[in-house]
Amino acid sequence: MKVAVSSDHAGFPLKQTVIDALEALGHTPIDLGTDSLESVDYPDFAEKAGQAIVDGRSERAVVICGSGVGACISGNKMVGVYACLCHDTYSAAQGVEHDQMNMLCLGARIIGSELAKVIVKAFVAAQPSTDPRHLRRVGKIRKIESRELKGPLNE
């Protein structure tokens, strides 16, 4: 699977660990930056990873910032991107299985490299459920998304 990986400066120290973990699991990471500790803005890098999902260059993405929160908020502003902040393996797997999450957000200042590796493994190993109750719920999420696209700010 192709997985876009990006980070801001705070996430940069963990980014190579994520890339290495994906490669070790047989996946193809797409490194979308940043490439240093120089201060950058997390929305720019969440958008790069989200755009890779939207345009089909990657099936999923991992975005890393200091807490993971800003990356998650930014990713969820993109149509077709379903970003979740996960600092445990259960949420990383269930987010894909039940909710069709396609962007994993991590906080480099919250978790260490060993935990990041197992979270990433759970994320990429999970497959979306075809259970009707999960599909119904995801359908409702997509209806909210569609309705909000037509909302007062977009008229």
Alpha helix stretches (DSSP H) within 55-155: 69-75, 89-99, 113-125, 132-149
d(Cα 100, Cα 93) in Å, to the nearest integer?
10
Contact 103, 49 (CB under 8 A): yes
Phi, psi of 4 (to 5 degrees): -70, 140
Residue with tokens 């997985």: 3
Task: Find residue 79's DSSP bridge partners.
Answer: none
**Of 9, 84, 87, 98, which residue is the catalytic one?**
98
**Of 27, 65, 72, 105, which residue is the catalytic one?**
65
**134 catalytically annotated:** no
Sign of the CA dihedral 128, 134, 135, 139? negative
Contact 64, 15 (CB under 8 A): yes
Spell out the residues 6+ positions from residue 153 whose beta carbon is closer than 8 angstroms to its own: none
**98 catalytically annotated:** yes
Catalytic residues: 65, 98
